[in-house]
Amino acid sequence: MKKVLGGIILLILVLLMGAPWYIGKQVQTFYTQITEESLQQNPTLDIKDLDYQRGWFSSVITGTITFKTMGDDLALPADIRFKSDVIHGPVFWAALSSGSAMGLALDHSTVWIEPVAESDPEMAAMIKEIPPFEMKSLIGFNKTISSVYSIAAYAKSIESGSSPVNIDFAGLTGNGTFNWGSKDFDFKAEMPSFSIKESENEAFIIDSLTLSAAKAGGDTSARYDIAKIACNSKAANIHFVLDKAYVEALSKEAGEVYNSTLETGFDRLVNNYVTFAPAKLELMLDNLDKASIDTLRETINEAAASDAMGSEMYGMMLMGKVMELLPEILKRDPKLTLTTLSLGTGDDETLTATGYAKILGEQAINLPSAAFIAQALDAEFEAALPKAFLNNFVDLGQLMQLMDQGLLVSDEMYYRTKAIVKEGHVTINGNTIM
């Protein structure tokens, strides 16, 4: 019995001591993989002085993030430094002592800005006061990383001329998950407010900025919400206000195609003496061939990995690849739909437009040149333009000429137009143009 019990205890000790070493090795492999993939997908970024010090129960990772332009390092007055403290054993004790859920490892990462040696002393002092980005993560058994992150609030008064400039940042908080096996993710970040003020007449303000993004399989989404952006400058004669603006993008995988939507809008926009309220734009792009789009994406990633994106030949190479894939991209009849365009331009006046354009792939690939694309186009577009709005931007004589040509029709409050393209024939307001 004692031998059996001793063997069990020995086995437990081996597992407790061996598991942290093995997990530490797996975590290092994961960090290396994530770093390489991130640099491939972001060719303007690089990491220097990367150091991974792997211990038995914990590891420390440090490095410097740099930015590149045209293949060369971009000179900045500060370095972006990062440090990750990773605890990977004993797993049970690490989780209990930190109050975290059980997992493979715990990570506490910090990113901060550090002035370079040749920085101006006053600038260096300001840079050192900027709060760091903090992130705490649990690396789970199912390859999912759950994180919470934050930037502390920051306030600074800078002497400038007759009155100080006050910078007030209310901080940032967020959370998210990432699975390094499937590459699925889901994250959200919120910033309550940010402002730069010299006086009420000289101010820039952002209220309540929210960002979110997610990926699940072939489906991705992203949304940005801003409660308010305001910029006032009496000296520069600027008065700008944007209320309750948002942008939302969705892409869904449907069999062998990608379907995407883009929606954006706002409650009110004021630019000096011009006001628009409200506004909404919704676009749909359907039937993009999945295989050819994935091939194009891989080409871009390969170019990024080889630093080809910084070369003068990159644009020509990418255009050549697009032309090579064009028959495949068009073969499923891609369609762009303007579901909604609505812009309030004044009291009881709204600019509106709807329409669609579909490329008939089988016909398009047999055309002698792109100049004949109308023969493979099926499209309709209709718009109503408030007279009071359009008269501010277009000369009345030009508007009369457009109406004489049949390109615009007029009623009491609106100029209207409707265009149809089918089988190479173009008609506008019932008049054949081509």
Over residues 220-263, the pLDDT tens digits come to: 999 999 999 999 998 899 999 999 999 999 999 999 999 999 99
List pLDDT tens digits, range 360-419: 988 877 776 666 777 889 999 999 999 988 888 889 899 999 999 999 999 989 999 999
> Is the pLDDT assigned to residue 42 strictly greater than 80?
no
pLDDT at 357 over 90: yes
Whether the Cβ atoms of residue 188 and residue 212 lie closer than 8 Å to each other: yes
Tell me the C-alpha distance between 260 and 220, whole Å: 9
Nearest CA among 90, 88, 87 for reference residue 17: 90
DSSP bridge pairs for 206: 194, 229
Q: What integer pLDDT is reported at residue 297 of this predicted model? A: 82
pLDDT of residue 72: 58
Residues 134 and 152: their CA atoms lie apart, in Å, by 9
* pLDDT, tens digit, 9 for 90 and up, residues 179-211: 988 989 999 999 999 999 988 789 999 999 999
**What single DSSP character describes residue 366?**
T
Partners of residue 114 on adjacent β-strands: 79
Q: What is the pLDDT of residue 95?
A: 56
Contacts of 11 (CB under 8 A, 6+ apart): none
pLDDT digits (tens, 9 = 90+) for 6-27: 444 444 444 444 556 566 677 7
For residues 169 and 1, the model is more confident at 169
- Contact by Cβ (8 Å): 265, 281: yes
Residue 5 CA, chain-centre distance (Å), reads 57
